[in-house]
Amino acid sequence: MDIVASACRSFSWFVVLAAVLTAAIAQAGEQPPNILWIITDDQRSDSLAVYNQVTTGKAESPLGFVMSPRIDQLAAEGVFFTNAYCNSPACAPSRSSMHTGKYPHRNGMFGFRPAHQKVDVASRMVPEVMKEHGYQTAHFGKSGYYIFDYPGRQTYNQIGHYETFVSRRMLQESDGSDFWFNRPWGTHNGKGGVLGTEEVFRFPDGTVKRFWRERRDAEITEEDIAQRKAVEEELDILRTYTRSNPNLIIGGVSSNTTWNTLDGATAKSMQEYLAQEGQPYTLVDGKTKANGPDPSRPVFIHLGFSAPHTPVMPSKEYRDKFAGQTYKVPAFSDREIELLPETLQQMHNDMNFSRMTDDEQQQAIRDYYALCAMLDELVGASVDSFKAYSEKRGQDFLIVYVCGDHGWHLGEQGIEAKFGPWYQSNHGSVIVVSSDQEKYPPGTVYDGFIEYVDFAPTIYESASVPTSAHPGLDGFALNHILTGEAVQRDYVIGEFNQVRGERAYLRTKDFAFSMRARPYFTKPGEGYAPGERNMWGLEASAEEVEMSLYDLRIDPHERVNLAYHELYVELAAFLRNKLGRIILGDGRVEVDWKQENVYHVSDFAPGAHDRKLDIPADILPEPQVPEAYADLIEKN
């Protein structure tokens, strides 16, 4: 099999299995394929044994034991893209980038701020386009793309492009879910607002245990304090050390069984939809009416799992499978922080993992991988249900599984979080399986760069939807990348504005670079107008833009920032100019989303994003690090 030979290779031990599993799939006539788009949350690729196997030759992650038999099987049935990168290292901007098929700098969504489509530069959404082209659209679980019906900033009304919409909140509030992190809306001193934060845990015997964690309308009672202590002891709850949110649950055991967790409820809601073929039914909230799929029309399903996002609480069934496992905590030294610019130092301080005890670190890693293993079962069952629906009707199908809307650190850079410019924040992997095996040959591994903006054109190409229906797409259909029809990328890019302000990154095979491109710690309309000081990232001093630069040739774990090292200064300036021109001047969109039609488009460098990176030979340094930090590299 010769598909971009430099980037593809087969793992033959899965091919026979894949052939058996897919040989019976009938080739459809004229009807477009049914499409299932699965996105998990905060999932690292090394939680998949198959990823570790094809990249390192062994099933364990670099940290230790993992298990993922169902997703390993799925990878055998199609193409496994091992080098995928999100375009923003946080849920909302990453998911909005996927749903619009555009980079954050071209859709104007950089963080956790509700957007809408009542602005002239608004982006179209994948379900909107699919619905217009005859698809039945359905969503189950976490959506997270933060695009609402204006004024969604106040009401969070769904925009309606998914005809059947089962939200995460619906599932959390149902009896079929284990944990409800609740912010009840009410009144406080006669004013509307949040009363506080309540945690609710449901148990298999039907009992419910709950307590207020904080309240604005009353004091926390002794009963609440006692209940919290009892629940935390019973469920072995470990909370994060982050300053910004010290109550995130990063370890523990679910209060319920696998299929009665939030993610179990998510999978069941999709299965129920498929089982209600041609029938009206009531959704899990007990009041919303929906229709099961019409078999004469193709379905487009978005399945959004919440795991392994916090709360990290695998079911006892899966936690027991990981009991006793010991993990290698990633190497970290406080001296790494010395080389970071101020905002990245602050980010580390916000999300410090190194302050935890050894036992706490072990629990956090172990429970994270156990939750990923539980998720594996739910993904596999969901795929089975979707394929059975298609097979029964002799219909073609496409499955796009996205391992993590972004990544997650388990001690790398000394943090447990995302949000950073580093590999573990931005890396993911993708599996595409199709009944059209010529497009996506079973048992194929592709290790060239892909980006999350590629999913929209991939879905459209499979469904024969013209890209003209969705102007401004930034990616390429993945089968075209496989065959070499699409441009082969020299780099990937991303941007984020949250936590510690704005930061953009550019990554190549050999270097990882990031910078502050905007001087603000807020968003357009919050203290500055869209487009204000739009050249700052190119005109400010090198110190002000707070760069980071890692030489991946010798420092693959990104421990020593060389952006201000004398041998790397010219390279850092080159990468700064390249990235700055792309994200600031090649169609940058900034919107005040609190208004109906207030925006700015910056286009002073059209074509800067050519996906090519010809670094002049005379500024390309030999791999070197400051002598004082050489031991950090050697420990890699």
Looking at residues 604-617, what average pLDDT do you find? 96
User: Is 143 a domain residue?
Assistant: yes
Q: Rounded to two decimals, what is the model's pTM? A: 0.93
Instruction: Kindly report the CATH number assigned to the domain that includes residue 132.
Output: 3.40.720.10
Residue 156 has pLDDT above 60, yes or no: no
Looking at residues 504-514, what average pLDDT do you find? 98
Which of 483, 508, 527 terminates a domain? The answer is 483
- The secondary structure of residue 605, as a DSSP letter, is S
Other C-beta atoms lying within 10 Å of the C-beta of residue 398: 26
- pLDDT range class, residue 135, cuts 50, 70, 90: very high
Which of 483, 502, 536 terminates a domain? The answer is 483
Contacts of 246 (CB under 8 A, 6+ apart): 239, 240
User: Is 108 a domain residue?
Assistant: yes
Closest CA to 257 of 205, 191, 294: 205
At 246-303, the pLDDT tens digits run 788 999 999 999 999 999 999 999 999 999 999 999 999 899 999 999 999 999 999 9
The two three-digit tokens of residue 122, written as one number: 């608004």
Separation between Cα atoms, residue 392 and residue 55, nearest integer Å: 36
At 198-241, the pLDDT tens digits run 999 999 999 999 999 888 878 999 999 999 999 999 999 999 86
User: Is 247 a domain residue?
Assistant: no
Cα atoms in the Cβ-side hemisphere of radius 13 Å centred on 418: 30
Q: Are 503 and 495 in contact (CB under 8 A)?
A: yes
User: Is 412 a domain residue?
Assistant: yes
Q: What is the pLDDT of residue 13?
A: 38
Q: Long-range contacts: 568-572, Cβ < 8 Å, 24+?
A: 568/621, 569/542, 570/619, 571/511, 571/615, 571/619, 571/620, 571/621, 572/513, 572/542, 572/547
User: Is 399 a domain residue?
Assistant: yes
Residue 23 has pLDDT above 60, yes or no: no
Q: What is the pLDDT of residue 350?
A: 83
At 88-130, the pLDDT tens digits run 999 999 999 999 999 999 999 998 888 999 999 999 999 999 9
Our count of domains for the chain comes to 2
Do 384 and 506 belong to one domain? no
Q: Are 466 and 477 in contact (CB under 8 A)?
A: no
The full DSSP string for 48-88 is SHHHHHHHHSSSS-SSS----HHHHHHHHTSEEEEEEE-SS
Q: What is the pLDDT of residue 2?
A: 34
CA dihedral for 483, 487, 491, 494, sign (positive or negative): negative
At 399-451, the pLDDT tens digits run 999 999 999 999 999 999 899 999 999 999 999 999 999 999 999 999 999 99
CA dihedral for 345, 347, 349, 355, sign (positive or negative): negative
Do 552 and 453 belong to one domain? no
Other C-beta atoms lying within 10 Å of the C-beta of residue 344: 24
- pLDDT range class, residue 243, cuts 50, 70, 90: low
Do 468 and 583 belong to one domain? no
Do 477 and 597 belong to one domain? no
Mapped onto helix, strand or coil, the DSSP state of residue 310 is: coil
Do 164 and 279 belong to one domain? yes
- pLDDT range class, residue 384, cuts 50, 70, 90: very high
User: Is 212 a domain residue?
Assistant: no
What integer best gives the mean pLDDT of the chain?
91
Do 464 and 511 belong to one domain? no
The parent domain of residue 451 ranges over 8-23+31-173+256-318+326-337+370-483
Which of 483, 502, 537 terminates a domain? The answer is 483
Do 430 and 507 belong to one domain? no
Do 460 and 565 belong to one domain? no
Backbone angles phi, psi at 165, to 5 degrees: -135, 105
Per the model's pLDDT, the better-predicted residue between 184 and 390 turns out to be 390
Query: For residue 135, which amino acid is it?
Result: Y
User: Is 302 a domain residue?
Assistant: yes
Q: What is the pLDDT of residue 155?
A: 53
Residue 15 has pLDDT above 80, yes or no: no
Do 419 and 278 belong to one domain? yes
- pLDDT range class, residue 183, cuts 50, 70, 90: low
Do 44 and 168 belong to one domain? yes
Bond before 308 cis per omega within 30 degrees = yes
Do 513 and 619 belong to one domain? yes
Do 467 and 575 belong to one domain? no
Q: What is the pLDDT of residue 12?
A: 41
| Beta strands 289-291; 185-188: pairing state | unpaired
User: Is 221 a domain residue?
Assistant: no
